[in-house]
Structure 1
Amino acid sequence: MMQLTKKDVTVLALWKLGGSSRVVDTEDAAIAAHSIDADAFGWKKYPDRVDLDAVRTSLRHEGEGKSPRIEGSIQAGWHMTPVGVAWIEANSELVGAEITVAATSPATQRWRAETRESGAASHRVRTSDAFRLWAKGEKFSARQAAGVFRIDQYTPVKERTRKAAQMQESVRGDSELDAFIREAIPIALALQAPRRRQEAGDE
């Protein structure tokens, strides 16, 4: 297995706790990170105790990066971004044991059970204008892509990325929908960018 950095461990900890589909409390993330690497996130004299400050620092540094794999805050909690989900997928063989835990965690099981039971998420994607155009090899607009994730130009940035990551998780296992979602995410998340540039010019 590759050598994980402290930031890698915090991302993995969020994944184990279902952070790709929900917000995870900072203290819960700390306990999970410590369970993965007690040496990195334990007290020097008492390694069995969680060093909450060390976890907080790693979470904050990862969230403040140029392409953060997580987003959130110490007070509000943390969730994974599409970049974080992609990182887990790209390193599935290297961190396979931890991913197995994530796939069977209670929070993830409950969420996936609800998704399978209703089928609402997959149905919404397949009946969307964006997917229909994509399936025909045609281009779709940022507004159409955003509609898939139920976001618009007024949706806060963190909420947009959370919804995108959640939808990506909900269609996991369906290669066609997964391919579409991967293409739709950056288009949808770019919806607010032109408005921001325009507002900056008006000030």
Structure 2
Amino acid sequence: MTKKDVTVVALAQLGGATQVIDTEDAAIAAHAIDAVAFGWKKYRDRVDLDAVRTTLRHEGEGREPRIEGSIQKGWHLTPRGVEWIEENPSLLDDLDITVAPTSAATRRWRVETRESGAATTRIATSEAFRLWSQGKAFTPRQAADVFRIDEYTPVKDRTRKAAQLQELARGDDEIYAFIKEAIPAALALRAPTGRQEEGN
């Protein structure tokens, strides 16, 4: 794996598909995966925080970033990042990562099973899903309603919410197929002319 791949896997391991992960937690997990890439040159058992920060920032600035966030506020997977993890399941299964998620991440994963059911029900009863099931087109606003975003939702919050719902819907093939089509439409919703979105 490249250093960027390692940071994406580290975030996935810590629950970054459904919540924001602190930079230092991501650094510890990345070092546990690859101590050579993310350890000091002389003392491999020590985390090189600067190397992790730089790699996270570079991945987040890419053309199709798999992560999004900042050093101060933390990081989460984008829909593309969730998709990449799903396309490479062996990256999680084959890694012996001993770093436990933060307590917040642990609580999140315990709640996720209940949230998955609620999210699936909400999607299945949405107008966008009804139209999609009938082979009809849905509007960006109808798609955005599924993710509970609107024209004024900051860009970073949009991608985070999209990735969250994509992850929660993963167990239902039909719902998941719909979500993957709805994400681009929802993210395309624009603020009224004259107002620039926050986060840009």
TM-score higher than 0.5: yes
Match of 1:182 in 2: 180
Kindly state the Cα deviation for residue 93 of structure 1 after the two structures are TM-superposed. Answer: 3.4
Q: Does the residue aligned with 1:54 lie in a helix, a strand or coil?
A: helix
1:76-91 matches, within 5 Å, as 76-91=73-88
Counterpart selection for 1:75 from 59, 66, 72:
72
Match of 2:127 in 1: 129
CA distance 1:173–1:106, shift in 2 (3 Å): farther
Q: Which amino acid aligns with 2:34?
A: D
2: distance between equivalents of 1:82 and 1:101?
A: 26
CA distance 1:92–1:185, shift in 2 (3 Å): same
CA contact (8 A) 2:140 2:185 kept: yes
1:149-168 matches, within 5 Å, as 149-168=147-166
Kindly state the Cα deviation for residue 172 of structure 1 after the two structures are TM-superposed. Answer: 1.1
Given the two structures, how large is their TM-score scaled by the length of structure 2? 0.88
1:40-119 matches, within 5 Å, as 40-98=37-95, 110-117=107-114, 119=117
Match of 2:32 in 1: 35
CA contact (8 A) 2:131 2:138 kept: yes
CA contact (8 A) 1:92 1:99 kept: no
Unaligned runs of 5+ in 2: none
Kindly state the Cα deviation for residue 198 of structure 1 after the two structures are TM-superposed. Answer: 9.2
Match of 1:145 in 2: 143
2: distance between equivalents of 1:139 and 1:9?
A: 38
Structure with the largest fraction of helix = 1
2: distance between equivalents of 1:62 and 1:170?
A: 24
CA contact (8 A) 2:32 2:97 kept: no
2: distance between equivalents of 1:99 and 1:12?
A: 12
Kindly state the Cα deviation for residue 19 of structure 1 after the two structures are TM-superposed. Answer: 0.3
Given the two structures, how large is their TM-score scaled by the length of structure 1? 0.87
Unaligned runs of 5+ in 1: none
Aligned residues: 194
CA contact (8 A) 2:13 2:92 kept: no
CA contact (8 A) 2:38 2:51 kept: yes
Kindly state the Cα deviation for residue 106 of structure 1 after the two structures are TM-superposed. Answer: 7.0
CA contact (8 A) 2:29 2:97 kept: no
1: distance between equivalents of 2:76 and 2:90?
A: 22
Match of 2:11 in 1: 14
